[in-house]
Amino acid sequence: MTTKTARPAALDHTLTLNVPFETPRQALIASQVLQPDPILKPQDFAVSYAAQGPCLEARFCGRDARVLRVGVSSVIDSLKTIIESLDELDQTGPSSTEASM
Amino acid sequence: MVDLNTVSPKDPAKRYYLALGLEGSANKLGVGIIKHPFLPETGAAAKDNSHDCHVEILANIRDTYVTPPGEGFLPRDTARHHRNWCVRLIKRALLEAGVRDACAELDVICFTRGPGMGAPLHSVALVARTCSLMWQVPLVGVNHCVGHIEMGREITKAKNPVVLYVSGGNTQVIAYSDHRYRIFGETLDVAVGNCLDRFARTLKIPNAPSPGYNIEQLASQCKNKETLVELPYTVKGMDLSMSGILAYIDSLAKDLFRGNKANKVLFDKKTGNTKVTVEDLCYSLQENLFAMLVEITERAMAHVNADQVLIVGGVGSNARLQEMMALMCHDRARGRVHATDERFCIDNGVMIAQAGLLQYRMGNYVKDLSETVVTQKFRTDEVYVSWRN
């Protein structure tokens, strides 16, 4: 999964995850929830999130494979929590097909 | 002038506020739902009514991550526990409170922003953010210590007490002045609850329901209450130091288990019989620590001329600490001690909802999600207390 690309920075280990959601609104919520948290070591690891339609695209880059693996797995843990919240608690909110965020 | 009605309830026809509180700064995960009636007397009153909001508790659910005897809780495992249980607890709380449509009924979602362990705080904050966006309900980030204080004031109706905040992570004596909860004295190293918890680990006694509770039970079985085991008494001005006491009593316990007859404190010089039991150690440790706490609390009372003490935090549910504090208060100006039981003393979601709702009613809520980043260090006096005179 890890590919080397010709990046000028030292963060040359990259990975892109595409996480499908039921609706564009859910993908947008997930990206907004993940966005605010700062990266502890920005010189070693970076991540960006974007909602593209019903998909959340997360782009990671890290200094080496280990840093990348640790960073990605912690984001996946967070995503699991967000998806569980959306799945379990969204019925009480507005209809989940509504894409009005 | 404090106007607690600056923000009107979501549905003005209902005439009440509903708040969801999420707490997860240590090994307890708490979800609470409270209701504040919309009262004319809390609006634009010159009087400070923040201690008497007529709170109604609709749900107060807690799940504790309990580790095996001899082990403490680690941030990573605690965060996993919170992630596993948070959504289930919220569902249960909504059901218990009879909230069918969270989106339409909730006025605000409150969560602990700090202080505490980073990873557990973060996992709960994620759920809070998701719910806020999903239901389009405003968020409020709450200081954990202020949560304890506001819940204690609301339950006991103590108007302006000196607060002793004692828990596993914090030990502070606090007095209110000019929109801040000011720290009069605090621990210089470990918290009193941490000292008790770690001694419980040395004794290998169970961590359920809480290590401090089990020490309290052992201490109450002490048969030799007249002769205390002498421990260091380390009050430093208005502050305390407890790590030395812990190291010393830990070494005593280890000598006791090993049967180290050379230890003259534990074993009789001539006969070699044990003079001290585990129960005696627990009793002496409690007496010593609590005497130190009572001393600095009394000094704070003298400074601010107060006659009320409010004890909050997990250790505050200890009956012996409450008793010692009551004796001091009675001797001094016939004052009163206010304390709550384990439902509100030990970390819970309701207290976060209470402090968060007060903040929300003053119009102070999260405008941008970047304000919801959790912080491990968040001192009590950093919070601007707009809801008090």
**Residue A6 predicted with pLDDT over 80:** no
Helix or strand or coil: residue B377? coil
Q: Does residue B388 lie in a domain region?
A: no
As a whole number, the mean pLDDT across chain A is 86
**Residue A50 predicted with pLDDT over 90:** yes
Q: Does residue B9 lie in a domain region?
A: no
Q: What is the pLDDT of residue A3?
A: 54
Q: In chain B, how many domains are there?
A: 2
- Which of B:270-309 have CB within 8 Å of A? none
Tokens of A60: 């990671």
Q: What is the ipTM of this complex?
A: 0.91
A22, burial (CB in 10 Å: exposed 0-12, middle 13-18, buried 19+) = middle
Q: Does residue B4 lie in a domain region?
A: no
Q: What is the pLDDT of residue B261?
A: 94
| Contact status of B126 with chain A (Cβ, < 8 Å) | yes
Domain match, B137 and B185 both: no
> For B40-75, what is each residue's pLDDT tens digit?
877 766 678 899 999 999 999 999 999 999 999 999
Q: Least CB-CB distance to B131: which of A78, A80, A85?
A: A85
Q: What is the pLDDT of residue B384?
A: 97
**Alpha-carbon distances of A96 from A23, A101, B86, B217, rounded to whole Å:** 7, 11, 21, 51
Q: Is residue B336 within 8 Å of B184, Cβ to Cβ? A: no
Phi/psi at B103 (nearest 5 deg)? -60, -40
Q: Which of A62, A85, A94, A50 is nearest to B82 (CA)?
A: A85
Question: Peptide bond before B115: cis, by omega within 30 degrees of 0?
Answer: yes
Q: How many CB pairs under 8 A join A and B?
A: 74
The CATH number assigned to the domain holding B262 equals 3.30.420.40
Phi-psi region of B205 (alpha: psi -120 to 50; beta: other; left: phi over 0): beta
Average pLDDT value for residue range A21-32 = 96
Domain match, B365 and B270 both: no
CATH number assigned to the domain with residue range A10-88, chosen from the 4 options 3.30.310.50, 3.30.420.40, 3.30.70.240, 3.40.47.10: 3.30.310.50
**Edge to edge, what strands does the sheet with B139-143 contain?**
B56-64, B28-37, B16-23, B108-114, B139-143
| Contact status of A88 with chain B (Cβ, < 8 Å) | yes
| Contact status of A90 with chain B (Cβ, < 8 Å) | yes
The DSSP bridge partners found for residue B340 are none
Contact between chains at B370 and A36 (C-beta distance less than 8 A): yes
Q: Is residue B284 within 8 Å of B187, Cβ to Cβ? A: no
Q: Least CB-CB distance to A81: which of B91, B127, B373?
A: B127
Contact between chains at B134 and A85 (C-beta distance less than 8 A): yes
Q: What is the pLDDT of residue B2?
A: 85
Residue A69 to residue A89: CA distance in whole angstroms = 30
Domain match, B164 and B123 both: no
Residue B357 to residue B140: CA distance in whole angstroms = 8
Q: What is the pLDDT of residue A97?
A: 42
Contact between chains at A81 and B369 (C-beta distance less than 8 A): no
Domain match, B103 and B165 both: no
Domain carrying residue B321:
160-344
Residue ranges in chain B whose pLDDT is less than 50: none
Kind of pairing between the strands at B171-177 and B139-143? unpaired
Provide the shortest C-alpha distance from residue B135 to chain A (in Å): 5
Q: Which of A80, A66, A74 is nearest to A19 (CA)?
A: A80
Torsion angle of C-alpha atoms B353, B357, B359, B363, degrees rounded to 10: 150
Tokens of A8: 């000028």
Q: Does residue B6 lie in a domain region?
A: no
Contacts of B330 (CB under 8 A, 6+ apart): none
Q: Does residue B170 lie in a domain region?
A: yes
Q: What is the pLDDT of residue B273?
A: 93
Q: Which strand (E) or helix (H) includes residue A31?
A: helix A24-34
Q: Does residue B3 lie in a domain region?
A: no
Amino acid at residue number B230:
E
| Contact status of B131 with chain A (Cβ, < 8 Å) | yes
Q: Which of B22, B52, B5 is nearest to B147 (CA)?
A: B22
Domain match, B64 and B103 both: yes
Contacts of B40 (CB under 8 A, 6+ apart): none
Q: Is residue B113 within 8 Å of B375, Cβ to Cβ? A: yes
Q: Least CB-CB distance to A89: which of B122, B134, B373?
A: B134
Domain match, B333 and B191 both: yes
In A, minimum Cα distance to B91 occurs at: A89
Q: What is the pLDDT of residue A7?
A: 47
Domain match, B352 and B336 both: no
Q: Does residue B339 lie in a domain region?
A: yes
Residue B381 annotated as lining a ligand binding site: no
Q: Which of B338, B329, B330 is nearest to B301 (CA)?
A: B329
Q: Is residue B196 within 8 Å of B215, Cβ to Cβ? A: yes
Instruction: Please give the sequence-ordered ranges of beta strands (E in DSSP) within chain B, or none if there are none.
Output: 16-23, 28-37, 56-64, 108-114, 139-143, 162-166, 171-177, 180-186, 235-236, 239-240, 308-312, 336-339
Contact between chains at A35 and B372 (C-beta distance less than 8 A): no
Q: What is the pLDDT of residue A4?
A: 52
Q: Does residue B291 lie in a domain region?
A: yes
Helix or strand or coil: residue B264? coil
Domain match, B130 and B185 both: no
Residue B2 to residue B220: CA distance in whole angstroms = 45
